[in-house]
Chain A
Amino acid sequence: MKYINLSILALLLLAIQACTIDDQADPNGPSINSVLNNASRAELNLLVAGTESAMRVGWDGYVTATGSIARELYLFDADPRNTEDLLGKEGTALDANTFYLTGPYNTRYRVVKNCNLLLGALDNTSSVSEAEKDGYRAFANTIKGLMMFQVLNMLNDNGIRVDVADPKNLGPFVTKAEAFTAIRGILDEGYAQLNGADFAFSLSEGFAGFDSPTTFGEFNRALAAKVALYAGDNAAALTHLNNSFFDLNGDLKTGPKHVFSTSSGDILNPVYKAPGQSGDQIIVHNDYIADAEAGDARLQKFGLRLNPTSQDGLNGTHETRLYGSNVSPIDIIRNEELILIYAEASARTDKVNDALTALNRIRLEHNLNPLQGTPTSAALLDDVLFQRRYSFWSEGQYMFDLRRFGRLNDTFLPIDRPGDIIHTQFPIPLTEGQ
């Protein structure tokens, strides 16, 4: 009997001993720590591609949310909040915990995080040269600046966080002015890093022509010009344009793009809507059709629907034709915008002739008559806004243009349903705990 007990005892001990559970590693993906410690070139390049890829995610929400508020478009789909909250139905305020805010906000900051990871990884690796490191850093800072700028546009006077590298110790929400300074600083830092840098990474074909340190610098300066203009620094905007790919006589379409493909793991253009589709359609605000100048070539962006559509008391006869297919690229910033930045900054600094030249370039390009005589700066600015309205329809711009021009209100915008209100900025997301 003793023998049995001893053997049971031994068995139990054995079982207990044998059962040491191994430390766990994630079988489903590389750990963040492996990236932060002596990252290989391949890992750095994966971060770059991941960053470029992720910038595109959430862009549709950015476009349709700001576009609805600016009465550019309606998103007719199954979520009522697209036609209720965003249009301020019966005075509804924007919610701080709803997709139209959190979607764009979270995705922008996720890209910022990836850029910060890349910057952190570069400080702790020896797998690439210093010149190459500067190339990566310039990329990271440029994209980070762009992402923060997009968030600032949404939150406006609420300010944003710019110091977000350490998730445990997030920096405070800074004012709009401070945020502009910070974003311009980040873009300038990226630009400075390009000096003498090497690109050890490649970008997608969307960056064709903007994929060397020099040409990427032109993209960086284009963004700097836009941010300067929004910050009210017209002189700096004009200076930055000179170092960008701005070309008063060049192709309006030139500029880096988000590209899409049907490759495995890639995404399709999220702002593209199939012609004639119902239930998920971007409907053009009827005022765009009514207000258009005769012959405006940009009206091609609007497709007449077989049947007019209505939802939630809103009507529309046209739907989006902005993108031709599910893999059409989306411009990040293009020469057309640079010309309009040039026109606006010139008009705001009373360089009337420069502004007029630029505007007429845009007007002619779109099959409109040039402006006659010598209009006042104010009249030119009116036309800048008008051109921006049609040139950048459904590209996530007009809400901020209206606000910059002091027109994001019901004096200038139509109220489609009695009781609707016009929002001017997005609240700080609930999860920020502010």
Chain B
Amino acid sequence: MKYFTLKASLLAMAMCWISFSATAQFMVTGKVKDTNDEPLIGVSILVKGTTRGTVSDFDGSFRIEAPGTAASLEFSYTGFRQELQEVSATNNNIEVVMTEDITNLEEIVVTGLASSIKRSNLANAVSTVSSKELTGVTTQQTIDGALYGKLTGVNIVQTTGAPGGGIAMRLRGVSSLTGNNQPLFIIDGVYVSNAEIPSGLRFASGANAGNEEGASNRIADLNPADIESIEVLKGASAAAIYGTRANAGVVIITTKKGASGQTKVSLEQDLGFNSAINLVGRRSFTAEQVEAEFSAAERQKFEAAQAAGKVYDYEKEIYGEKGLISDTRLKVAGGNNKTTFFASGAFRNEDGIIKYTGYDRLTLRLNLSHEISDNLRLTTSTNYVNSYSNRGFTGNENEGGLSYGYNLAFTRDWVDLFPDENGVYPDNPNTAGNPIFVRDKTKNEERINRMIQGIKLDWTALQRDNYALRFALNGGLDFFLNETFVYVPETHQAQRNKDNGFIGAGKNKVYNYNYQAFGVFDYYTGNNISFSTQAGISYLNFERDLVFNKTTQLIPLQTNLTQGGTQEITQRLESEEEFGIVAQEEVNIDDKIILTAGIRLDKSSLNGDPNKYFAFPRASVAVNIANFDFWKINAINQFKLRAAYGQTGNSAAFGSLFTSMTPTNISGTSGFIVNTQQGNPGIEPETSTELEFGADFSMFQSKLGLEITYYQRNVENLLYQRSLPTSSGFTNEIRNDLDLKNNGLEVSLQLNPVRTSKINWTSGVNFWFNRSEITRLGIKGEGDANDIPSFVPPGVAFGLGLGTFYIDEGSPITSLWGSGPVQVGDVEPDFQLGWFNQLTLMKNLDFNFLVHWKQGGDVLNLTRLLTDLGATTPREFGNLEGFIEDASYFRLREIGLFYTIPMGDKFLESIRLGVSGRNLLTLTDYSSYDPEVSTKGGGGLSNSIEVAPFPSAKQAYFHLSLNF
């Protein structure tokens, strides 16, 4: 608190000083345009060396009062080079032309919890994806999926190809073994849930755990078209200010806002279809081959089927659908001087490549901003989502007879599985289920009702020429009800005489809220040194109430939970509460040297001592060498060296503190038995310490930009579940005596090779790789005798016999090991490269594409293990050794061609037509559906293990949009 009193007295002193200096002022008016003579809206205009600023309005006009008799005005606008204009009491009506800057030096990047900085002064490599890059090329299914290849340092795996989400995003390598390894998502100040909530289908399919169910992740609920920009704080040095939630990075999403002026309406319609990227194929058979593989009796069946023309391709039968996609979006944006709004409504309907699978999503959004008075602004963003998906059954299972791929592996193409004239589906004689029956008669549904509300109050308490004090209060809430419904009829062959049908209905309530209060004090000295001081608090509270109802022994044809002989309820309650105190100081010496230091103190109910604060410091320096006077190379307009250091944390998953009893039952009498997880009541958060160095260049009037970043991130005291000797009665415990090192290189090159009035070509290349190593396993300072031996983390794969992740000191955490144990692979790519191109011809024709090359990184293809066993692997893959495969690929991730027809009409401004596609072309040697795969969901280590996935789809679209 000492800090605060200091600040208050500083403020008081400043006030005294200001009251004595009454100065002359003059008014400046003007207009801002781009090189095409189009007015620029929202350009920020600042009287240099002061806190006075304004923004240009809808026709590019502005008015600003400047002190004294002469001043210089700074014009900055995202995507354009900064302009400096001298003005005076006589030269007070100006016109400013701003030129485009593909290196985005003027972009405003959110770095603190309540402050931002322009990119040219940033000391971290913060990747930003604009709405143009996000959704400009093609229509996106989900936000996270839309990011792949567009920024460095990110690795995305798809946990299911089912429409409606199922994506795991990992920034700069593995940062956690237990928790959600995925970044924190913040949308307009709301900490939103990205939970993957399983539907409980494992209780019917026999899958080992919820993470094998291929559930969707909840970021899928957002409409990508509502997004203005996404900033990704990849490592601890950038994300330290988010403390104990930010170990896996932070993704800050800002949604679109309205601008004052004419109300703009746009109606967009996409039509397209989904189809499988790749089908593996089936083994071809001749009668002789059937007899050799199976038996003479089987040959007879084969020949009979052949004669009747009833040899099928069941893979195509199941995965071969073309799913229709329709995406309709209505956007209305506008406002006046005081109030602006952005309203949108969108409905997406998407059918999957498996019949009856699909996804519907309705999203509504209203973003409002209102100036209550000159120094008080209220901003709210409201988002409602209603979605429905039917996801089918895919992935691992054990004798449930449900997972398509699993059962297709054992299904013989000459067995007729189609229903007879009475609608009776034959049993599959070779495996536990008939996939045609499963497709037609079962359900695996998910319904979401979600409300995300953010509210923000900005109050400029004081504003003088050389200092300003503002306060920012914001709160957010994210509530959703997730309802799952799994139905397997009593007539399913694996249900008969056993469970006799299965209904699993989940009612999962997730309620998160957060608030923060910050004060920011900006102070400019006379000699171009400015200070920005901020301090505040942050609180968040997450609650989950997950109820799963299961009914078996069903009354025939009934799909109601009460209509069955055996009913069971399980409930899981989880709550998390966190509180943090933040302080940060930033010093900017004439845009030449920018220094930042900050600290966050966090406490969490997930820690052993819920009221113990853990400190997460940060410090950074950026030196803009090209801004120094000695810099004479005009071709290089920016040369910046930067270094940043920071720490973040991650608390243990809920429940890690407790050793509890689990209920059981025998013959109607309840009992309990000790849980298999031994809790750790003294657990502390794992921490990640990152040091990042980089150099940024901008050359040839910002036509070429280069960013190079090297980072080393040490994750210390990593929380992990270690298998215990199970003779103890426990199977695992939570420990944190593991250290991990990630380091990597990220290079980003932006080019504008052609910029004429007819052709504008911009191109961006992102190149990155990450390497990891386990640097410690065992209690610090204890000798080898007490060292912890290398181990297989529980639940990450299917045992050493088939290949699994294995924690071994000195090895990468992403390495795959087989019996021995010996290392047999590594899922970490050697490098990745994304190449993004935007080509505008004659102003109206846009051609954009994104290619993505992932080199190296293995996948454990256990689908082939199954098809080998069932003798269905295509013969071309018959001689592959082992199940580890190189999963390099080259993919045309996005491509789009659009033509804008200007109507010049008062009513209809323009029409935009286009065609586009996603994942249209993939070049890979990988033998299965898609090298981007994870059968174990998005958390922990899970990645790149394939078991009978929902095959990934490619999309082709036709677009029409009308702008009014």
Contacts and interface: CB of A to CB of B under 8 A. Distances in A.
A170 B725 contact: yes
Contact of A50 (B401, B565, B664): B664
B729 A279 contact: no
Interface in A159-173: 160-161, 164, 167, 170
B727 A164 contact: yes
B789 interface: yes
Contacts of A433: 725, 789
B910 to A, nearest CB: 49
Interface string B626-665: 0000000000000000000000000000010111111111
A258 B857 CA distance: 49
A141 to B, nearest CB: 16
Interface string A50-87: 11111010000000000000000000011111000100
A239 interface: no
Contact of A265 (B298, B399, B670): B670
A28 B568 contact: no
Given A21-B610, A24-B657, A259 B667 contact: yes
Contacts of B266: none
B800 A263 contact: no
Interface string B553-583: 1000000000001111101111101010100
Given A4-B461, A29-B663, A50 B498 contact: no
Nearest to A99: B799
A426 interface: no
A32 B662 CA distance: 10
B499 interface: yes
Nearest to A8: B519
Nearest to B539: A19
Contacts of B298: 310
Residues of B contacting A: mostly: mixed
Given A80-B865, A310-B294, A49 B800 contact: no
Bin chain A's interface residue count: 35 or more
Nearest to A162: B727
Contact of B537 (A12, A20, A28, A106): A12
B842 interface: no
A172 to B, nearest CB: 11
A349 interface: no
B623 interface: no
A429 interface: yes
B610 A23 contact: yes
A95 B493 contact: no
Interface string B197-229: 000000000000000000000000000000000
B283 to A, nearest CB: 16
Interface stretch (B4-12, B138-146, B371-379, B522-530): B4-12
Contacts of B603: 21
Contacts of A160: 727
A110 B724 CA distance: 12
A277 B496 contact: yes
A353 to B, nearest CB: 42
Interface stretch (B68-76, B188-196, B674-682, B700-708): B674-682
B669 A31 contact: no
Interface stretch (B348-356, B430-438, B584-592, B890-898): B430-438
A26 interface: yes
A432 B727 CA distance: 7
Nearest to B433: A279
B24 interface: no
B605 A22 contact: yes
Interface string B389-428: 0000000011101000011011000000000000000011
B284 interface: no
A98 interface: yes
B517 A15 contact: yes
A105 B724 CA distance: 13
Contact of B661 (A32, A81, A263, A279): A32
Contacts of A51: 671, 673
Given A50-B673, A274-B498, A263 B665 contact: yes
B668 interface: yes
A51 B666 CA distance: 10
A99 B669 CA distance: 29
A372 B552 CA distance: 53
B667 A266 contact: yes
Interface stretch (A112-120, A212-220, A242-250, A383-391): A112-120
B552 A97 contact: no
B315 to A, nearest CB: 17
A262 B552 contact: yes
A418 interface: no
B674 A32 contact: yes
Given A32-B661, A53-B673, A268-B498, A278 B430 contact: yes
B519 A265 contact: no
Bin chain B's interface residue count: 35 or more
Nearest to A13: B1
B91 interface: no
Contacts, number: 289
B497 interface: yes
A58 B347 CA distance: 48
B285 interface: no
Contacts of A20: 611
Given A20-B611, A30-B661, A80-B865, A97 B724 contact: no
A109 interface: yes
Contacts of B724: 167, 431
A264 interface: yes
A307 B800 contact: no
Nearest to B565: A262
A308 to B, nearest CB: 7
A279 B799 contact: no
Contacts of B727: 105, 109, 112, 160-161, 164, 170, 432
Given A21-B605, A24-B605, A263 B407 contact: no
Interface in A348-384: none
B682 to A, nearest CB: 12
Interface string B8-19: 100110010000
B667 A97 contact: no
Given A95-B799, A97-B801, A167-B730, A46 B670 contact: yes
Contacts of B575: 27
Nearest to A55: B666
Nearest to B572: A28
B604 interface: yes
A145 B24 CA distance: 96
Contact of A110 (B497, B667, B668, B673): B673
Contacts of A112: 727, 729
B666 A53 contact: yes
Contacts of A237: none
Given A20-B611, A326-B498, 9 more contacts: A25-B658, A30-B672, A50-B673, A279-B430, A280-B401, A280-B432, A280-B494, A309-B429, A429-B725
25 contacts: A12-B4, A21-B579, A21-B605, A22-B610, A26-B657, A31-B660, A32-B660, A45-B671, A46-B670, A53-B664, A78-B866, A80-B865, A102-B726, A110-B676, A110-B726, A111-B673, A114-B673, A161-B725, A170-B725, A204-B667, A307-B429, A310-B294, A429-B726, A431-B726, A431-B791
User: Which 7 residue pairs are nearest across A and B when measured between Cβ atoms?
Assistant: A113-B729, A49-B671, A279-B432, A50-B671, A265-B665, A280-B399, A167-B728
Interface of A: 1-2, 4-6, 8-9, 11-13, 15-16, 19-33, 35, 45-54, 56, 77-81, 85, 95, 97-99, 102, 105-106, 109-114, 116-117, 160-161, 164, 167, 170, 202, 204-206, 259-266, 268, 272, 274-280, 307-312, 315, 325-326, 429-433
Interface of B: 1, 4-5, 8, 11-12, 15, 294-295, 297-298, 397-399, 401, 406-407, 409-410, 427-433, 461-462, 471, 493-494, 496-499, 517, 519, 537, 539, 552-553, 565-569, 571-575, 577, 579, 581, 603-605, 610-611, 655, 657-676, 678, 723-731, 789, 791-792, 799-801, 819, 865-866, 868-869
